[in-house]
Chain A
């Protein structure tokens, strides 16, 4: 992966309320470095609502609009319309939502805004469950992963929703995946997104130590393994059609990823083999899409 210059400016000040090791503030910190001070952030109900600080404090040096759970995208639309009316074309509007706020309760508003091609960057910070409410499954929770609502014995038997395909099929100008363990890639994608007009979508994988049952100093290593095992791939999609893989993973067996996390501790060898098959299938589907 190409090394790029990471801006020195800091827009996250010390003292946010994230759990130790949480991937989300790492992601937001890099996002703001990439986008700069002329940025406003919309945050629906999620861990990030807490992380950035409660009244009367803020851990972020750009304006933040806290909004209701289902409304990240349409709130961003409203800000954009209002800024346009005031002649402000410079400010970048960013919606920062969790997987629940994106894949589930917010998907209607997101789909509406994407269909209108409203002009903002939507970042889904995906920790693969409703973490703020204490680790309940979302439609981004992986196949067979433990959560408090998918306990061992009553597993999630459906795969993670393919949000990238859903967003790409809206024909939006830009969609990309990213991972907190690959900041250069994330920053490059945000800078690219900033230069594009319309709805831009970034699916950011961000491990949650509490929910994934990993130690707080394991977050980056586990995030990296997600990519290297092809469980989560780094790619981008232009205009809903042109797929590009941005990083060639080593293709380590998924077992090595699954074994790092308590949420997969109950898996049998057979189940891991099914997951490996699914991952291989996903990867070949992605390759096909890259070929067009």
Chain B
């Protein structure tokens, strides 16, 4: 069934179709309509789930950690300060190896209060042990939620599905909503190996000495490494079921490119249009869309960017004192390679400032025109 729906509605449909059993969430702009929609689905009986209306995001994550370990497929959604407030529990969910799915609507962090899109919130959670997937459009949002449960339940790590504030969350697009039976055929019931229950009394997550702790972290890292292949195969199987895939990274016009721009989120769509226009002018520019940020798919990225002379990375985020985070990750991917691209790090669109086609073109032309970046961090569309 095709319908014109917002990104947040696409989230709600994805959650309903995934037959989530426990939801716990707390409202925050621009995630709020997800909470409202899911409340409605539960109230109308469209979803057979418990919705715990908690008093905070910290409790939201804590309660679904508990519901997940007790054996129910569990979900929450948040944004910005809500995600930051969850931070302690994000570590806990990953360390507990629970297949929780969280949707984060990318929003800037205060102060001052800013409800618009920016990747500071999710990227600040980079090292918590969560898989992170960034979406470009509403179809991808819906599909990625369904895929996320399958990935999470395969590797026993939580997945964060990320979408841009307003540009996706509140923008309506045509979305193909799959039938429940189709989704059931792709995403089996949640059958955890272990489940908190009195018939099998165990202690979960008790104190752990230096003698064991490190091995648990080693296993998490190994699983993260394997997750790249798991996610690829889940996407492929999704393609067999539904006739569409989204990839972990998506190269576009990269084969002969002198310059490849690396993007994530909705900036990708804008950049694609700009690059098509520049191609018409004869400029050899390509695009690499990053969907998967954790695990960072280094092998796949090397496969695309090796041999490319110059790479421009567009970051809608900044790690103060260093620079854009995607740019850092791309640089570190290549630091031990003999053949490595010159990496230009562009910061733009913070706090929801529009990333216009002109801004993207400026970044591309800068990369084309300069043999190397003149500054470590190149700010675009900045009032100095």
The interface of chain A, by Cβ under 8 A from chain B, is 37-40, 42, 49-50, 52-58, 60-68, 70-71, 73-79, 81-86, 88, 91, 108-109, 111-112, 115-116, 118
Known contacts A78-B64, A108-B55, A52 near B203 by CB under 8 Å: yes
Residue in B48, B58, B92 whose beta carbon sits within 8 Å of that of A109 in the complex: B58
Q: B203, A58: Cβ atoms under 8 Å? A: yes
Answer yes or no: B279 CB below 8 A from chain A CBs.
no
**Interface digits, B52-80 against A, CB 8 Å rule (1 contact, 0 not)?**
11111011101111111111101000000
Answer yes or no: B179 CB below 8 A from chain A CBs.
no
Please name the 10 residue pairs, one residue from A and one from B, whose CB atoms are nearest each other, closest first.
A78-B66, A112-B55, A78-B63, A82-B70, A54-B207, A71-B62, A74-B59, A58-B203, A82-B67, A81-B50
**Shortest Cβ distance from residue B45 to the other chain A in the assembled complex, whole angstroms:** 14
A60-B203, A66-B203, A81-B22 known; 18 new pairs, CB 8 Å cut-off, are A40-B197, A52-B203, A55-B206, A58-B203, A64-B204, A65-B66, A70-B62, A71-B59, A74-B66, A75-B62, A77-B59, A77-B63, A81-B24, A82-B21, A82-B66, A83-B197, A91-B198, A108-B56
Known contacts A40-B197, A112-B55, A66 near B205 by CB under 8 Å: yes
**Shortest Cβ distance from residue A66 to the other chain B in the assembled complex, whole angstroms:** 4
Contacts of A63 in B (CB 8 A): 196-198, 200-204
The interface of chain B, by Cβ under 8 A from chain A, is 21-22, 24, 48-50, 52-56, 58-60, 62-72, 74, 88-89, 92, 196-198, 200-209, 212
Q: A65, B55: Cβ atoms under 8 Å? A: no
**Shortest Cβ distance from residue A129 to the other chain B in the assembled complex, whole angstroms:** 21
**Shortest Cβ distance from residue A120 to the other chain B in the assembled complex, whole angstroms:** 11
From A38, A53, A75, name the one whose CB has the most chain B CB atoms within 10 angstroms.
Answer: A75
Q: Kindly report which residue of chain A lies nearest to residue B213, judged by CB atoms.
A: A55
Q: A53, B203: Cβ atoms under 8 Å? A: yes
Query: CA–CA, A73 to B55, complex, Å?
Result: 11
Q: B206, A78: Cβ atoms under 8 Å? A: no
Known contacts A54-B208, A68-B92, A79-B70, A85 near B55 by CB under 8 Å: no
Q: A74, B197: Cβ atoms under 8 Å? A: no
Query: CA–CA, A137 to B92, complex, Å?
Result: 27
Contacts of A109 in B (CB 8 A): 54-56, 58-59, 62
From A81, A109, A116, name the one whose CB has the most chain B CB atoms within 10 angstroms.
Answer: A81
Contacts of A58 in B (CB 8 A): 201-203, 206
Known contacts A66-B205, A67-B65, A78-B70, A39 near B59 by CB under 8 Å: no
Q: B62, A49: Cβ atoms under 8 Å? A: no
Sample of 22 A–B contacts (CB below 8 Å): A49-B207, A50-B207, A55-B208, A58-B203, A63-B196, A63-B203, A64-B203, A64-B204, A65-B196, A66-B207, A68-B88, A71-B89, A74-B62, A77-B59, A78-B24, A79-B66, A81-B67, A82-B21, A84-B50, A109-B56, A112-B55, A115-B55
